[in-house]
């Protein structure tokens, strides 16, 4: 069935199709429609789930931790400071290897408080042991929500779905909504192999001494690596079922491109349009969309940029004192590519706090990248007023 | 009159192993042992950071014969809420979920999550075993530390200057179905309260005073006696509050002077008679308040 829906409702419908069993959340703009719709579904009985309406995001994630440890499918949604308030429990979910799924609407952080799009909320949670996926369209949001539960439960790692504030969360787009039977076949009921069980009592999360701690983190690292492989497998299966797939990294118009833009989130759609125009004019330019940020798709990124002379990374985020975070990660991924094969990397910080990234902004970046004699020592800030 | 032995009134099952890691004379394992005797195997325990994080044993061991979830300091009531929801949605309404937290995890960092769970009337049993300071980290003051007490962050030259938070009244104000105080020194009273809690649905709160020999600076043979003195002197009355409005005392409180209780503990050694008089006045004032509640 095809419906015109906002990104927030694409999340809610995905959670319903996934037959999530426990939901716990606290409201924050621009996430609220996600939990409003889920509240309606739980109240009407359309979704047979318990919705725990908690007093904070810390408790929202804590309740998901408890539910997931008891063996059921658990979900929450948040944004911005709500995500930051969860930080401690994000580590508990990641380290505890609990397959919780969360939607995070990417929103800027205060002070100078701001409700518009910016990726610093989720990227500052980089090291909490969560898979991070960034979406471009509402269709991708819905499909990713369903995929996320399957991915999380296959590798016992929590998954964070990120969507841009307003550009996705509150923008209506046509979305193909899969049949329940299709989703049921793709995502069976969760049967945890280890859980809180009075018939087989175990202690979870106890003090672990130096003799064993590293092995637990090693297992977590291995599970993260596996998550990258499993995402591609289940994405291929999803394509067979629905005709849609997204991969970890997507190439667009990349054949023979000497300049590649690297984007994530909705900037990608704008960039596609710019590239279409320039390709039509004969320019060899393409795009690499990074959908999966953790685990970082190092091999896919290296393969994607092979052959390009220059790469321009567009970062709607900033690590103060360093630079754009995707650019940092991509530099790191390319470090040991031999110099002759390694494209020059240009980092651009732009669009923070919802500053509009228009086609002309991207055109300017492309022109600047082509005209430069060499990359600047630091990432360049785009459009900062004097 | 035939003699009634307490051990005949206590369930024989043991769900706490003797190899646990509590200090000698600690009140906390006594409390857990009694609570689990009454609740039985169909129990899930949530432990935030507290002395019991140690007592339960390090990976891969556990001193308990029930499932146990160690969690972050401020999250016990919320994690318990999540477990409850998960059990319910899969049809297990029989298992009791308990959050088992110290005074720091209840009065301080866990209060918000506890208040939220109580407001939602989550079907959980929240037990606070209260040793009146952050004992596991080395005796730092909490909002459960009594006025005048020495701790490592309230030195004898500037001891605890605020009154202990009235957690029972706070929980009663949430109008939860059942709230009570208990003491391992009164095992049959404690067991009766756990039984009543088990048979009640909704949020149940049990506040257990748990003497701490290293933190209170008393001999490890005095734990039970100090618990009795606390009750008899009315510094820790044994009570029940049903639905937040029906208050009652569950044992006699003869009102022994507080002096001997204070003098038995090194943490109060710096206090003079005037200070002890002030503590007595505070106890008397709260007793008056409680008597008005009981009606």
Query: For the residues A227-252, what does the mean pLDDT come to?
Result: 98
Instruction: Flag whether residue B80 sits within 8 Å of chain A, measured between CB atoms.
Output: yes
CA nearest B58 in A: which residue? A207
Mutate to test the interface with A, among B43, B44, B85 (most CBs of A within 10 A): B85
Q: Which positions 121-160 of B are in contact with A (Cβ < 8 Å)? A: 122
Q: How far apart are CA A230 and CA A185, in angstroms?
A: 17
CB–CB of A92 and B75 under 8 A? yes
Residue-wise pLDDT tens digits, B278-290: 999 999 999 999 9
CB–CB of B59 and A50 under 8 A? no
Residue-wise pLDDT tens digits, B119-130: 999 999 999 999
CB–CB of A203 and B56 under 8 A? yes
Q: How far apart are CA B129 and CA B155, in angstroms?
A: 24
Measure CB to CB from residue A56 to each of B80, B83, B112 and give the nearest one. B112
Q: How far apart are CA A317 and CA B202, in angstroms?
A: 45
Token duo for residue A101: 């799924």
In chain A, % of residues over pLDDT 90: 99
Residue-wise pLDDT tens digits, A280-295: 999 999 999 999 999 9
Minimum distance, in Å, between the CA of residue B52 and any CA atom of chain A: 11
Q: How far apart are CA A186 and CA A143, in angstroms?
A: 12
Torsion of CA A172, A176, A179, A180, to 10 degrees: -40
CB–CB of B83 and A69 under 8 A? yes
CB–CB of A58 and B44 under 8 A? no
Confidence of residue B6 (pLDDT cuts 50, 70, 90): confident
Beta strands in chain B, from DSSP E residues, in sequence order: 43-47, 68-70, 96-101, 125-130, 178-182, 204-209, 239-242, 246-249
CB–CB of B79 and A53 under 8 A? no
pLDDT at B249 over 90: yes
Nearest to A344 by CA among A324, A306, A374, A364: A374
Query: Reduced to 3 states, what is the DSSP secondary structure of residue A173?
Result: strand
Q: A57-71, A153-167, B7-21: which range is least confident on average?
A: B7-21
| Mean of per-residue pLDDT scores for chain B | 97
Name the helix (H) or strand (E) containing A182.
helix A180-186
Q: What is the pLDDT of residue B4?
A: 79
Q: Do A86 and A103 meet the contact criterion of CB atoms below 8 Å apart?
A: no
Residue-wise pLDDT tens digits, A337-364: 999 999 999 999 999 999 999 999 999 9
Query: Reduced to 3 states, what is the DSSP secondary structure of residue A247?
Result: coil
Inter-helix orientation angle A138-155/A7-17, to 10°: 40
Q: What is the pLDDT of residue A257?
A: 98
Is the ipTM higher than 0.90? The answer is yes
HSE on the CB side for B247, CA within 13 Å? 18
Token duo for residue B169: 């009244």
Nearest to A216 by CA among A355, A96, A335: A96
Q: Which positions 32-61 of B are in contact with A (Cβ < 8 Å)? A: 41-44, 46, 53-54, 56-61
> In angstroms, how far is the first alpha carbon of chain B from the final one?
33
pLDDT at A146 over 80: yes
Query: For the residues B33-39, what does the mean pLDDT come to?
Result: 98
CB–CB of A203 and B68 under 8 A? yes
Query: For the residues B242-246, what does the mean pLDDT come to?
Result: 98
Residue-wise pLDDT tens digits, B183-242: 999 999 999 999 999 999 999 999 999 999 999 999 999 999 999 999 999 999 999 999
Query: For the residues A63-88, what does the mean pLDDT come to?
Result: 98
pLDDT at A136 over 60: yes
Cα A365–chain centre separation: 24
pLDDT at B2 over 80: no
Neighbours of B248 (CB within 10 A): 14
Q: What is the pLDDT of residue A377?
A: 86
Q: What is the pLDDT of residue B295?
A: 82
pLDDT at B1 over 60: no
Q: Is the peptide bond between A24 and the residue preceding it cis, with omega within 30 degrees of 0?
A: no
Mutate to test the interface with A, among B57, B63, B67, B93 (most CBs of A within 10 A): B67
pTM: 0.98
Q: How far apart are CA A111 and CA B258, in angstroms?
A: 51
Query: For the residues A40-49, what does the mean pLDDT come to?
Result: 98
Q: What is the pLDDT of residue A262?
A: 98
Q: Do B48 and B78 meet the contact criterion of CB atoms below 8 Å apart?
A: no
CB–CB of A198 and B65 under 8 A? no
CA nearest A207 in B: which residue? B58
CB–CB of B82 and A201 under 8 A? no
Residue-wise pLDDT tens digits, A320-331: 999 999 999 999
Minimum distance, in Å, between the CA of residue B44 and any CA atom of chain A: 7
Residue-wise pLDDT tens digits, A15-42: 999 999 999 999 999 999 999 999 999 9
Q: What is the pLDDT of residue A273?
A: 98
In chain B, % of residues over pLDDT 70: 99
Interface residues of chain A, partner chain B, Cβ below 8 Å: 21-22, 24, 48-50, 52-56, 58-60, 62-72, 74, 88-89, 92, 196-198, 201-209, 212
Query: For the residues B24-52, what does the mean pLDDT come to?
Result: 98
Query: For the residues A43-71, what does the mean pLDDT come to?
Result: 98
Q: How far apart are CA B248 and CA B265, in angstroms?
A: 29
Chains A, B: CB contacts under 8 A, how many? 168
Token duo for residue B65: 């014969």
Query: For the residues B88-105, what does the mean pLDDT come to?
Result: 98
Query: For the residues B104-115, what does the mean pLDDT come to?
Result: 98
Confidence of residue B5 (pLDDT cuts 50, 70, 90): confident
| Mean of per-residue pLDDT scores for chain A | 98
Instruction: Flag whether residue B96 sits within 8 Å of chain A, measured between CB atoms.
Output: no
Strand partners, B249: B239
In chain B, % of residues over pLDDT 90: 97
Mutate to test the interface with A, among B83, B88, B124, B136 (most CBs of A within 10 A): B83
Query: Reduced to 3 states, what is the DSSP secondary structure of residue A79?
Result: strand
Strand partners, A300: none
pLDDT at A119 over 80: yes
Mutate to test the interface with B, among A48, A51, A62, A75 (most CBs of B within 10 A): A62
Q: How far apart are CA A258 and CA A370, in angstroms?
A: 10
Cα A289–chain centre separation: 12
């Amino acid at each position: 069935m095809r419906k015109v829906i906002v990104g927030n409702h694409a999340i809610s419908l995905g959670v319903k199709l996934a037959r999530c069993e426990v939901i716990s959340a606290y409201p924050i703009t621009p996430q609220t429609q996600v939990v409003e719709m889920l509240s309606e579904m739980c109240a009407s009985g359309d979704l047979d789930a318990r919705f725990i309406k908690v007093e904070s995001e810390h408790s929202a994630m804590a309740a998901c931790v408890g539910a997931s440890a008891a063996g059921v499918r658990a979900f929450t949604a948040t944004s911005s400071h709500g995500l930051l308030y969860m930080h401690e429990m994000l580590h508990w979910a990641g380290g505890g290897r609990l397959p919780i799924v969360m939607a995070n609407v990417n929103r800027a952080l205060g002070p100078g408080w701001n409700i518009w799009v910016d990726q610093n909320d989720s990227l500052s949670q980089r090291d909490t042991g969560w898979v991070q996926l960034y979406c471009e369209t509402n269709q991708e949001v819905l499909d990713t929500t369903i995929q996320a539960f399957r991915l999380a439960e296959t590798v016992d790692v929590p998954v964070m779905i990120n969507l841009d504030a307003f550009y996705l969360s509150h923008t209506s787009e046509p979305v193909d909504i899969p049949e329940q039977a299709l989703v049921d076949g793709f995502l069976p009921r969760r049967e945890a192999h280890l859980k809180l069980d009075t018939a087989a009592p175990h202690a979870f999360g106890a003090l672990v001494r130096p003799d064993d701690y590293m092995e637990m983190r090693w297992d977590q690292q291995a599970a993260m690596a596996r998550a990258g492989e499993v995402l591609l497998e289940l994405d291929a299966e999803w394509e067979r079922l629905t005709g849609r797939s997204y991969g970890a990294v997507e190439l667009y118009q990349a054949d023979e491109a000497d300049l590649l833009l690297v984007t994530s989130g909705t900037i990608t759609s704008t960039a596609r349009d710019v590239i279409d125009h320039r390709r039509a004019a004969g320019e060899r330019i393409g795009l690499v969309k990074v959908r999966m940020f953790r685990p970082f798709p190092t091999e896919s990124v290296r393969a994607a940029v092979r052959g390009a002379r220059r790469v321009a990374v567009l970062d709607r985020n900033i690590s103060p004192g360093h630079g754009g975070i995707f650019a940092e990660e991509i530099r790191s991924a390319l470090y040991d590519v031999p110099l002759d094969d390694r494209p020059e990397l240009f980092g651009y910080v732009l669009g923070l706090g919802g500053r509009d990234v228009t086609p002309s902004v991207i055109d300017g970046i492309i022109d600047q990248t082509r005209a430069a004699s060499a990359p600047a020592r630091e990432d360049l800030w785009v459009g900062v007023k004097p | 009159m035939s003699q009634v032995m307490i051990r005949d009134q206590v369930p024989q099952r043991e769900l706490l192993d003797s190899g646990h890691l509590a200090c000698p004379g600690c009140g906390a394992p006594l409390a857990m042992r009694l609570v689990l005797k009454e609740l039985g195997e169909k129990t899930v325990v949530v432990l935030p950071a507290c002395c019991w994080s140690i007592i339960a044993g390090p990976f891969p061991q556990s001193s308990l014969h029930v499932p146990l979830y160690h969690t972050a300091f401020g999250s016990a009531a919320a994690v318990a809420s999540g477990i409850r929801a998960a059990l319910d949605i899969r049809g297990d309404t029989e298992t009791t979920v308990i959050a088992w937290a110290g005074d720091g995890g209840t009065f301080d960092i866990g209060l918000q999550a506890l208040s939220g769970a109580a407001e939602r009337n989550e079907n959980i049993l929240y037990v606070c075993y209260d040793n009146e300071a952050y004992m596991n980290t080395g005796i730092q003051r909490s909002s459960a530390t009594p006025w005048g007490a020495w701790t490592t962050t309230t030195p004898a030259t500037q001891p605890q200057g605020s009154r202990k938070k009235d957690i029972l009244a706070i929980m009663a104000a949430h109008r939860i179905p059942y709230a009570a105080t208990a003491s391992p020194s009164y095992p049959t009273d404690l067991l009766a309260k756990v039984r009543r809690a088990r048979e009640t649905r909704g949020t149940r709160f049990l506040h257990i005073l748990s003497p701490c020999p290293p933190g209170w600076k008393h001999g490890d043979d005095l734990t039970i006696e100090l618990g009795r003195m606390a009750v008899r002197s009315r510094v820790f009355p044994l009570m029940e509050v049903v639905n937040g409005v029906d208050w009652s005392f569950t044992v006699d409180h003869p009102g022994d002077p507080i002096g001997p209780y204070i003098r038995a503990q090194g943490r109060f050694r710096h206090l003079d008679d005037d200070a002890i008089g002030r503590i007595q006045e505070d106890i008397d004032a709260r007793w008056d308040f409680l008597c008005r509640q009981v009606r």
